[in-house]
Amino acid sequence: MEEFAKKVLERCSVDGVSYADVRFVETRFEELVVKNGQPETIKSDCKIGFGVRLIYNGAWGFASSSILSDEEGERVAKLAIEIAKASAYLKRRDVILAPAKPVKAKHRMPFEIDPFEVPLEERLSLLLRVDELMRSVEGIQLSEASMSLWHQRKLFVSTEGAAIEQERIEVGAGMTATAVRGSDVQRRSYPAAHGGNFAAKGYEFILSLNLEEHARRIAMEAVQLLDTEPCPSTVTTVIIGSNQMALQVHESCGHPTELDRVFGTEASFAGTSFLTPDKLGNFEYGSQIVNIVADATIEGSLGSFAYDDEGIPGQRFHLVKEGIFVGYLASRETAPLIGLKGSNGTMRAENYNAIPLIRMTNINLEPGDCTLEEMISDVGEGIFMDTNKSWSIDDKRLNFQFGCEIAWLIRNGRLVKMIKNPTYTGITYEFWRNCDAVGNESEWQLWGLPNCGKGEPMQTMHVGHGVPPARFRNVRVGVVK
Ligand SMILES: [Zn+2]
């Protein structure tokens, strides 16, 4: 494959082309969904192809194909040059890439059990068992369990001399039980909503989720929620569980620190950002105990990788340090625009047929110093909520509203009563400035999100969040409308 990619790269070496890279990507995907005791989806899919990205006369060109022949390689290289020529008419400035050391490397993300070797029957029967356990709870109208597997091989070569091969396995699973009474619909998910939890590991990760152990518990909680009172509308102290915190960090810190959004190149679909470059290094994003890092180096996490799709090593760096906004997710093209010497390695493409964009890696809230129990014990009156149900945030990532599946009232340092349909709203920096407790290492958990959407046409990316629960004062809470 390297030979083919290098041949395509040679086709790009014509006058006027200052840079080119070729990515070859092979992705195998399997998805199983079981609903109400029946297999609903059994899907298997494989995509292979290559993409050519180059700079001609200071402008980008990109083209791709799934036909791996020399003639097609030549056609795609020429097409990328033609597209760059056309883009050059509209350029506002020449594309200048920050320098990067061309890497030659091979990397394989470690795993124990190849999930594709686990018989379909065995995987399906696990989902059918947890589905049955959920339905064994009286009052459950809808039960659903799912599992996804990916195997990806990638090769990256560039005219600067980089040649990087990478291989990874990813898996994920989850389940949801829904109870309905009249117009009241209550659901509980495990280990997370929106498909469960995901990791760049083998089948051992699915087994570690212990789905069967939790199936009846979440089903009983869904039924119990029908009889609870709704969340009160008030301003109070809120403790956000680790699972919901993953989405809070994703929407209110991950997206607004993507440097392409800041410069408006992604504005048409994904929006812009309130974190403008004048705020870098001086803006009070949160309270002093808020530390948020981008970390692509955590082994086995969904947002980790050895090299990004520009051949830059995965890195760990601060976005928010002791409450101050200090960093962006950058690429080779955007890094020099804010005075960075080089990219911090966040460019990734969904597949061979898409251009790399700045994407989150693992965006993590660093652990603080208390347990969840200690956090609750300090609260006279408040609410603990967890597991995302709905989200909404404006284009600049400032005003947000999140709904959760479940919550409990806190009175005098104890959880006293389950309540339903909780939401909380806020303005990003006001909310984080009111953070007065962050869970410690023992409460910190990794969540993989396989469905972060960005770009036009939209690309779905796999990202991660390592987060503990955290406590926020003066938060407006209410009920899902
Ligand atoms: Zn996203």
Q: DSSP states of 306-374 as a string? A: SB-TTSPBP-EEEEEETTEE---B--TTTGGGGT-SS--S-EE-SSTTS--EE---BEEEPP-SB-HHH
How close is the Cα of 269 to the center of ligand 1, in Å? 12
Give the pLDDT of residue 107.
Answer: 97
> How many CB atoms are located within 10 Å of the residue 141 CB?
15
> In a 3-state reduction of DSSP, which class is residue 295?
strand
Give residues with Cβ within 8 angstroms of 121, minimum separation 6.
none
**pLDDT of the residue at 456:** 85
Round to whole Å and give the CA distance between 178 and 221.
10
User: How many C-beta neighbours within 10 Å does residue 203 have?
Assistant: 22
What is the model's pLDDT at position 398?
92
Ligand 1 center–CA 93 separation, angstroms: 29
Distance CA 66, CA 47 (A): 8
* Dist. CA 121 → ligand 1 center (Å): 33
Distance 364 CA to ligand 1 centre (A): 14
Q: Residue 479 has what pLDDT?
A: 75
pLDDT, tens digit, for every residue of 118-143?
999 999 999 999 999 999 999 999 99
Ligand 1: centre distance to CA 200 (Å):
18
329 alpha carbon to ligand 1 midpoint, in Å?
14
pLDDT at 184: 97
Q: How far is the CA of 452 from the centre of ligand 1 (A)?
A: 4
Residue range(s) of every CATH 3.30.2290.10 domain in the chain: 2-226
Task: State the pLDDT at residue 271.
Answer: 73
pTM above 0.85, yes or no: yes
Which of 392, 448, 379 has its CA nearest to residue 252? 392
Spatial separation of the C-alpha atoms in residues 168 and 300, rounded to whole Å: 9
* Helix, strand and coil in the chain, % to nearest 5: 25, 45, 35
Distance 335 CA to ligand 1 centre (A): 21
Q: Which residues of the chain have pLDDT under 70?
A: 266-270, 480-481
CATH of 2-226 given 3.40.50.2000, 3.40.50.1950, 2.70.98.10, 3.30.2290.10: 3.30.2290.10
3-state SS track over 148-190: EEEEEEEEEEECCCCEEEEEEEEEEEEEEEEEEECCEEEEEEE
How far, in Å, from the CA of 122 to the mean position of ligand 1?
33
For residue 167, report the distance from its CA to the centre of ligand 1, in Å: 24
